[in-house]
């Protein structure tokens, strides 16, 4: 999961860096103020669309990880429950065997006396 986080951080940094670079290029470009403002407006609209796409992708990935985590949690819970039941059955069997063995030993002791 760490590599997914690093990959997402890299992509976000790459997009933000590209947008900052584009904004600086627009401001420093030799054109009229009207043209520059129009380009900035267009890039702003483009940036909004990209940000929405990144947010949607992030939401989708979080939902996937959440579903995987929930599934794994249920599997572990079921596995733990089965191991607990198996251990309980084994302990009950051993206790019953010990009690039967003790009962037999007491009966033998009474017969000898």
33 CB neighbour count, 10 Å cutoff: 7
Percent of the chain whose pLDDT exceeds 70 = 84
pLDDT over threshold 80, residue 52: yes
Confidence of residue 16 (pLDDT cuts 50, 70, 90): confident
pLDDT over threshold 90, residue 28: no
pLDDT over threshold 70, residue 104: no
From residue 31, alpha-carbon distances to 18, 36, 85 in Å are 21, 7, 77
Count up the domains in the chain and report the number: 1
Running DSSP on this structure, what letter comes out for residue 95?
H
Q: What is the pTM of this model?
A: 0.45
| CA-only gyration radius of the chain, Å | 35
Q: Which domain holds residue 36?
A: 2-112
Whether 36 and 26 have beta carbons less than 8 Å apart is answered as: yes
């Amino acid at each position: 999961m760490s590599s997914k986080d690093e990959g997402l951080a890299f992509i976000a940094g790459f997009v933000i860096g590209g947008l900052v670079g584009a904004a600086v290029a627009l401001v420093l470009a030799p054109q009229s103020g009207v043209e520059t403002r129009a380009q900035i407006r267009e890039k702003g609209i483009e940036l909004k669309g990209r940000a929405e796409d990144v947010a949607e992708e992030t939401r989708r990935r979080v939902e996937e990880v959440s579903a995987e985590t929930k599934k794994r949690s249920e599997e572990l819970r079921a596995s733990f429950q089965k191991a607990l039941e198996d251990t309980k059955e084994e302990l009950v069997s051993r206790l019953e065997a010990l009690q039967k063995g003790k009962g037999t030993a007491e009966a033998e002791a009474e017969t000898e006396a």
